């Protein structure tokens, strides 16, 4: 029997991914105010490991305290964050999945309310419970209408932040993660350097595309000093800005080539995020996104930059995800909101894409019961399912 492309393994550096299904990094706003994860996160990521997501990413782990979007964001800015992350990574690995971490800095989108509270600057709440803090960015350009104007980073502070990304990578390695993804999209700090719509610097980090790319490339180079050579490094990019004068796909293809030279193994292909509170903002006046609307970015970057890619965005059907891999449009497919809707998505996909009609691909302590249930539901004779159950319990029976 031919194994569907979606559930075939993939090897990058020395890490083997058991299948091509990835839990995308998603901010859950459940961390403590000091950035530490809790048992909630263990349960959250654990259910996806049990469901056989091949790779499971944490949400963005902020490289410094002021880089948080909200007070409930997770952190990796000091060694105290490592212990809980170790437990999470260890459990993910014990279930046969690859533990992966994402790191980043929210930059001009820091010091905000949680999305379900409005996603507006904390200063608008006017209370002392969660006071706002100074936000920083590439230039003094507000991230969205009504947002605070950030303080532009000095050249010296740019260098300090690059080192913080390196130290964050070191901590992720100590925590036991096998893959690292750098969030350089959605209007966050690194993206603010990359986009001509937010970068108005006149030093070596602004002006030309080469200079605007410098911050991201130097971060990749710094991370590779601490992130082991045998472990893959991913970069999440907003491949286009969706605004006139913003980043075009051709710009991102050139950046991807340079990131590859700096030690990056895969581009995590997203889009948008400039001039709005979230990555879908610039779609509001256009047509709603369609399934796989960002897959063409992954395909073009994979072909023209000769680097592995990960597709993400409104991919919900197993057959669609399998076609993305089968047609070589991307090497991995990441699910976010669809995973929230159906945490057992990989298990259902394996049944749909293969001849597994008896839940054999499911963990046995679930699959056994589900097969019995299926026999009961499908039986026209009340006693037929008992015969099937007896056969199932017979040693050596199929």
* Residues with active-site annotation: 188
What is the spatial distance between Cα 363 and Cα 52, in angstroms, rounded to a whole number? 9
Any idea what the Cα angle at residue 212 is, between residues 219 and 111, rounded to 5°? Answer: 70
Q: What is the dihedral of CA 258, 264, 270, 272, to 10 degrees?
A: -50
Residue 203 tokens read as 């030093």
Nearest to 62 by CA among 91, 84, 36, 89: 36
What is the token pair recorded at 267?
A: 């581009």
The pair of structure tokens assigned to 315 is 């991919």
- Give the span between the Cα atoms of 8 and 221, in whole angstroms: 31
Nearest to 188 by CA among 65, 271, 105: 105
Strand pairing of 266-270 and 308-312? parallel
Q: Tokens 């581009």 identify what position?
A: 267
**Residue 60: what are its φ and ψ, rounded to 5°?**
-60, 130
Classify strands 179-184 and 233-238 as parallel, antiparallel or unpaired.
Answer: parallel
């Amino acid at each position: 029997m031919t194994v569907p492309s979606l559930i075939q393994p993939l090897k990058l550096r020395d890490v083997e991914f058991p299948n091509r299904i990835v839990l995308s990094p998603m901010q859950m706003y459940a961390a403590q105010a000091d950035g530490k994860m809790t048992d909630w996160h263990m349960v959250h990521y654990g259910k996806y490991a049990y469901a056989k997501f091949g790779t499971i990413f944490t949400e963005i782990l902020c490289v410094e305290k002021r880089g948080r979007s909200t007070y409930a964001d997770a952190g990796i800015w000091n060694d105290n964050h490592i212990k809980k992350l170790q437990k999470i990574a260890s459990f993910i690995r014990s279930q046969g999945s690859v533990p992966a971490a994402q790191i980043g800095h929210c930059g001009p989108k820091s010091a905000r309310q949680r999305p379900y509270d409005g996603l507006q600057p904390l200063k608008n709440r006017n209370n002392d419970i969660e006071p706002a803090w100074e936000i920083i960015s590439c230039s003094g350009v507000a991230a969205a209408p009504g947002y605070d104007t950030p303080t532009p980073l000095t050249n010296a502070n740019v260098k300090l932040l690059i080192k913080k990304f390196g130290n964050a990578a070191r901590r992720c390695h100590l925590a036991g993660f096998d893959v690292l993804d750098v969030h350089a999209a959605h209007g966050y700090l690194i993206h603010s350097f990359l986009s001509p719509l937010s970068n108005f610097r006149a030093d070596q980090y602004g002006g030309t595309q080469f200079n605007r790319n410098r911050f991201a490339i130097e971060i990749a180079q710094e991370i590779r000093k601490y992130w082991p050579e045998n472990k893959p490094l991913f970069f999440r990019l907003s491949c286009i800005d969706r605004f006139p004068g913003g980043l075009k796909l051709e710009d991102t293809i050139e950046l991807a080539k340079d990131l590859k030279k700096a030690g990056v193994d895969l581009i995590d292909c997203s889009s948008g995020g400039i001039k709005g509170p979230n990555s879908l903002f610039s779609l509001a006046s256009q047509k709603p996104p369609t399934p796989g609307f960002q897959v063409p970015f992954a395909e073009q970057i994979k072909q023209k930059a000769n680097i592995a890619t990960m597709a993400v965005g409104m991919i919900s059907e197993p057959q669609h995800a399998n076609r993305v891999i089968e047609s070589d449009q991307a090497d991995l497919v990441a699910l976010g909101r669809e995973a929230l809707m159906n945490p057992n998505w990989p298990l259902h996909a394996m049944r749909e894409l293969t001849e597994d009609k008896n839940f054999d691909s499911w963990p046995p302590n679930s699959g056994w019961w589900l097969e019995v249930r299926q026999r009961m539901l499908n039986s026209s004779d009340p006693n037929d399912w008992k015969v099937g159950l007896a056969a199932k319990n017979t040693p050596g029976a199929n």
